Structure 1
């Protein structure tokens, strides 16, 4: 069973069943735009076109291009200058939500955090061991 939603493009109500995120009319318009973009990109001289060039030549909305790349309808392997913005910095990426640079920065930060956490745990363990050893010496002296 679907749910009633407002189309984010035109505002009309439509029955959302998980297939399309827009109403039928807007989906048809998107498909027409996709065909225009795909015909443009199929030409050998346009295969390396940038997002800006595609928007300029076809009139398609930049967000639609990003959506098609995310969903795998336009493949960066075939069209190398296509991508969508990284959720963190906005640079174009072709997979996941973060670009390579942001992914590496995140990995570095996690490694640093884990190393610091391990260091703190070792310091605490050594302090406890020293405290217990000192406490044992004092007990023997008394």
Structure 2
């Protein structure tokens, strides 16, 4: 079921159905910008262009490029210099929310936490030792 929302780009009302986050007019403008960027990147000399070069040459906003890479409209396999910022450190990544370095750090911290948790559980198990006495 559609709900009435304000477009985050132009602040006009539109029926939000879950397909687009913006109104029809802004979605059309986004699509036009995408076509400009895609035509720019299809030229052989521009395929390795980085985000700064694309922004400078096409006038498209950096966040819009990141959005298209996240959604898979611009593939880093085809355009190797593209990516979007890691949610943790801001370094450009091509998949997921975290870059390889942050993923490695998080996995390491998780292993350390799990080892500490296991150590605490072992101590609790040892403290549960019951002693029997011969008193009657």
Shorter-chain TM-score range? over 0.9
Higher share in helix: 1
Runs of 4+ in 1 over 6 A off after TM superposition: none
Distance of 1:10 and 1:88 partners within structure 2: 30
Q: Hey, what does 1:114 align to over in structure 2?
A: 114
The answer for unaligned runs of 5 or more in structure 1 is none
The answer for unaligned runs of 5 or more in structure 2 is none
Q: Deviations over 1:11-46 (max 9, x none)?
A: 111111111111111111111110110000001111
> 2:103 & 2:3 partners in 1: Cα distance?
36
1:141 is displaced (CA, Å) by 6.2
When normalised by structure 2's length, the TM-score is: 0.96
Aligned to 1:62: 62
Q: How many residues align?
A: 136
- Distance in structure 2 (CA, Å) of the matches to 1:125 and 1:35: 64
RMSD between aligned residues: 1.1
Match of 2:134 among 122, 131, 140: 140
Q: CA deviation at 1:140?
A: 2.2
TM-score by length of 1: 0.92
Q: C-alpha deviations, 1:65-112, integer Å up to 9, x for none? A: 011001110000000111111111111111111111111111111111
How far apart in 1 are the matches of 2:127 and 2:29? 68
Which residue does the alignment assign to 2:6? Answer: 6
Corresponding position of 1:105: 105
Q: Give the Cα–Cα distance (whole angstroms) in 1 for the partners of residues 134 and 40 of structure 2.
A: 88
Please name the residue that 2:34 is paired with.
34
